[in-house]
Structure 1
Amino acid sequence: MLGKRLSAITACGAAAVLVLTGCSSKATSGSGSGAKAAAGSPTVNIMVGGMSKQIYLPYMLAQQLGYYAKAGVNVKLQDEPAGGDATQNLLAGQVDGVGGFYDHTIALQGQGKSAESVVSMLQIPGEVEICRTDLKGTVKSPADFKGRALGITDTGSSTDFLTQYLTTKSGVDPATTTRRGVGAGTTFIAALKQKAIDCGMTTEPTVSQVLKNNLGFILLDMRTADGSRQALGGTYPATSLYMTTSYVDSHKDAVQKLVNAYVATLKWIQAHTGAEIADKMPADYYAGVGKDAYAKALDSEKGIFNPNGLMPADGPKTDLSVLSAFNPAVKGKSIDLSKTYTNEFVSAATPIS
């Protein structure tokens, strides 16, 4: 069945597997690095769509730097490997915000729901389409996806959105493919090894681990601006913090403090090397690929991170164009992009030292 994870691949067993695969433990962590915000500070629960992925690095890095506490907000981070599931938890009121791709706010508006990005963390997706090594020369582009099993994080995730778009753009009906939710890290790698998928979309540090072990080759690379424009037609804002509009309107002080922490984190990323960033991250984040490879991957893709947190002016239109190509919740709908994000809090962000 489409989007269902293969039980043999995604079984969350040993603690080490939990870290590397992105299988969600639903565990929470406080406003970290040993520092806590002052008593009486607001508490915000944020679910992140795979915290160990480099594309979501600002969430844990802000904690490791102590920026949540300095901004005066208590943050509880929860790990959920699939963005679609995180969005459902947001709508159900289980969490206050989601660390996920901005495109979910567009899809939600198409479904009659209102959510908005309050800070843009990635200017481009940072995603890579990888195919099994034995298919090199056979699969040359998404035009060869017909009849193929394609790995995605899970149904309704942004990797699902992007995979369907790339397939459609290349003249292949997504219905002629099998999209399988295989998560990231160990589960994604296992799917390649077992030939449960032919190609799949994933991010660093999984990409480096796949290449290191010669398990696959890169078909499409959206870790660069040029690669993203070639694949998607323009700048594609990705990782953001999005919340329901009702929450944003009623918790402006808490949202501002959060955004202060993230803007400071984005600036810190730009001012430091991959090795310096890796030194701040929990060892579990690079255990599968090694600290040096993790740092090297960060150096090579630092350009994916938004240096200031503002929504790129041309970005929302690209996201809408992608979703309009295949997503029934968006296709043919009148979408007001101005309601899917706000720059209000980034523009008012105050420095953190």
Structure 2
Amino acid sequence: MNKTFWKQFAIALALFLAGYFTFNGKLFAQTLEKPKVSIAVGGKNLFYYLPLTVAEQLGYFKDEGLQVEISDFAGGAKALQALVGGSADVVSGAYEHTINMQAKGQSITAFVLQGRAPQIVLAVSNKTMPNYKSIADLKGKKIGVTAPGSSTNMMANFVLAKGGLKPTDVSFIGVGTSAGALAAMRSGQIDAIANLDPVVTMLQQKNDVRVIADTRTLKDTNDVFGGPMPAATLYTTDAFLKKNPNTAQALTNAMVRALKWLQKAGPSDIIKVVPESYLLGDRALYIDAFMKVREAISPDGMIPDAGPKTALKTLQAFDPELASKNIDLAKTYTNELVKKANAKYK
């Protein structure tokens, strides 16, 4: 064997011992404990989860040495069930679930923020409630949410509570996040809807609904919740984070890179990246909807310190049981992985 071979072998051995590895010809620091990762998401087509789609479609997960399989569910509550049941390693879902699960004795941690505003809109049907005047008018009505127990359900509960109604004063019906939600509203199956874009913008365009609470911008979010409200995150069990720190870092790196890309991307760039099915048959409307929620996308993946407090206060407003629990918010999230990712992708 020639000198070149032994020189390359020595370099490879040194890198291996130093904790480096190669994947598709690229060099990565730290060996991934779990290169194949399954992520559950509730409504992947929503702008709420656009950073996840960007990371997937642009190959950012692969660039970190990961093989990511994404399973799409009807709503965030279903995605959470996949994590708890063991069929998913990580969830792309609402931050609030980390608080609810701690109250139930299960430790789940959010480790990268995708959205700094929930983007959820509560609207009433112009067909079944043309004379709507106040929240009190929703008593006894049917409200469509992505899935019962999801973040859309939680947002609706909070708005109802501010208006003097309890969750039990209405009927919540799961309608999903795309064509099914549109059909449920337009056919009169539901009287109100808590959903996200592009669904909401499509309903507004046809004058199907009247918006009564909107969290697509930072100002609107502050008006509704009284402070910054963390939205979509990547979250997982404490056990996964402890067992797979390098894998979690790789996931965070890919997501932060996607967030940075989104800060510079134009509408035409987004159209080229997302699957055709996301457009729901209307490219111009999709772009219009994206412009409405653009500022809601996190620029860096950091969960603001005041955010978890706002989320806890929101949940306690309509959940008496949670109000009596002693929640340690510091255990519901971490920004440590995001800080490292931002140092890598500036």
Instruction: Indicate the TM-score class for this superposition, using the shorter chain for normalisation.
Output: 0.7 to 0.9
Tell me the matched-pair count. Answer: 318
Aligned to 1:305: 297
- 2:319 is paired with a residue of what secondary structure? coil
Aligned to 1:326: 318
Q: Superposition pairs for residues 109-258 of structure 1, below 5 Å?
A: 109-134=102-127, 138-258=131-251
Aligned to 1:317: 309
Unaligned runs of at least 5 residues, structure 1: 1-34
Q: What is the letter of the counterpart of residue 132 of structure 1?
A: S
Aligned to 1:276: 269
Q: What is the letter of the counterpart of residue 280 of structure 2?
A: A
Question: What is the CA distance between 1:46 and its match in structure 2?
Answer: 0.1
Q: What is the letter of the counterpart of residue 111 of structure 2?
A: V
Cα distance in 1 between the residues matched to 2:27 and 2:72: 25
Bigger helix fraction: 2
Q: Does residue 87 of the first structure (1) align with residue 80 of the second (2)?
A: yes
Question: What is the CA distance between 1:110 and its match in structure 2?
Answer: 0.3
Question: What is the CA distance between 1:135 and its match in structure 2?
Answer: 5.3
Quote the RMSD (CA, aligned, Å).
2.0
Q: What is the letter of the counterpart of residue 340 of structure 2?
A: A
- 2:93 is paired with a residue of what secondary structure? strand
Cα distance in 1 between the residues matched to 2:149 and 2:26: 35
CA contact (8 A) 1:275 1:292 kept: no
Q: What is the letter of the counterpart of residue 129 of structure 1?
A: L
Cα distance in 1 between the residues matched to 2:134 and 2:38: 40
Aligned to 2:286: 294
Aligned to 1:99: 92
Cα distance in 1 between the residues matched to 2:324 and 2:181: 34
Aligned to 1:43: 36
Q: What is the letter of the counterpart of residue 108 of structure 2?
A: A
Cα distance in 1 between the residues matched to 2:242 and 2:233: 18
Question: What is the CA distance between 1:275 and its match in structure 2?
Answer: 2.3
- 1:134 is paired with a residue of what secondary structure? coil
Change (3 A) 1:265 1:141: farther
* Stretch of structure 1 that moved more, 133-142 or 86-95: 133-142
Q: What is the letter of the counterpart of residue 307 of structure 1?
A: P
CA contact (8 A) 1:82 1:183 kept: yes
Cα distance in 1 between the residues matched to 2:319 and 2:239: 25
CA contact (8 A) 1:36 1:74 kept: no
Aligned to 1:65: 58
* Stretch of structure 1 that moved more, 162-171 or 98-107: 162-171
Change (3 A) 1:113 1:213: same
Whose radius of gyration is greater, 1 or 2? Answer: 2
CA contact (8 A) 2:308 2:329 kept: yes
CA contact (8 A) 1:264 1:352 kept: yes
Cα distance in 1 between the residues matched to 2:288 and 2:37: 32
* Stretch of structure 1 that moved more, 191-200 or 259-268: 191-200
Q: What is the letter of the counterpart of residue 203 of structure 1?
A: L
Unaligned runs of at least 5 residues, structure 2: 1-23
Question: What is the CA distance between 1:272 and its match in structure 2?
Answer: 1.2
**Normalised by the size of structure 2, how large is the TM-score?**
0.87
**Normalised by the size of structure 1, how large is the TM-score?**
0.85
Aligned to 2:332: 340
- 1:172 is paired with a residue of what secondary structure? coil
CA contact (8 A) 2:60 2:258 kept: yes
CA contact (8 A) 1:38 1:72 kept: no
Cα distance in 1 between the residues matched to 2:114 and 2:68: 17
